[in-house]
Structure 1
Amino acid sequence: MEWIKIFGNKSEADHRIMNDKPQLIIIDGKRICLVRHKDEYAAVQDDCSHNGESLSKGIVNYLGEIICPWHNYCFELKGGKEIKGRSPDLKTFPVKADDTGFFIGI
């Protein structure tokens, strides 16, 4: 796995990524949906495993699930599991922040 620096530090990430507002990040051609929910970060593949719509266009509910804007499929942010088991799980990417920056693992 390679850690890709996307922000200089966690404060910059907090400033740029609003709570419960999915953000599209493209790293090495990979579309990744980055979400901050209750001040914790999660990163999942951006395309819905059901029909391919961009999850960064979706919403995050109070349970910390990302909801696809096309057919309302719900996925856990932490593990990528589709809540009702109707679709394959999303690929997840680890996120970390330290003194050197804010990173997503690819």
Structure 2
Amino acid sequence: MLPTKKIRIFASLEEAAKAVPAGTLRKLRIGETLLCLAHTPQGFMAMADTCPHQQASLSGGVLDVRLQVVCPFHHYRYSLHTGEEASRRTAPVQTYVVESSEEGVFVHLPQKK
């Protein structure tokens, strides 16, 4: 497993909830990395923003009740837990650990060598 770097994306849960209301998706850029951040009933979750099928921005899609991001182009569904496409029609999407604490909301990104 690659080492990760913990990066603060919001100063508080309140700030995060205001920027990404419950049940919605938002694109975030951290350096060269584009993330699709989802505000789910389980909290904030993240995956890579680019669909491996035809490179659509997943944050332009919708979040379904199974905690899947539905691609806006061809409705492929990617699990926020595993990154797998529901019907295994494409490669999985990279998922990222999101952590919330009193210090803010953080995402763990792989460190570059």
TM-score range, shorter chain: over 0.9
TM-score of the pair, normalised by structure 1: 0.94
Distance 1:88 1:37 in 2: 23
The ranges of structure 1 where at least 4 consecutive aligned residues each deviate by more than 2 angstroms after the TM superposition are none
Gaps of 5+ in 2: none
Q: What's the CA shift for 1:41?
A: 1.2
Aligned pairs, number: 106
SS at match of 1:12: helix
Distance 2:104 2:43 in 1: 16
- RMSD (Å), alpha carbons: 1.0
Per-residue CA deviations over 1:58-105 (Å, capped at 9, x if unaligned) read 011122111000011001111111000000111011100112221011
The aligned residue for residue 20 of structure 1 is 23
- Aligned equivalent of 2:62, options 59, 62, 71: 59
1:8 partnered with 2:24 = no
Per-residue CA deviations over 1:13-62 (Å, capped at 9, x if unaligned) read 11211122110000011110000111511100000011110001001112
Distance 1:41 1:6 in 2: 11
Distance 1:28 1:7 in 2: 15
TM-score of the pair, normalised by structure 2: 0.89
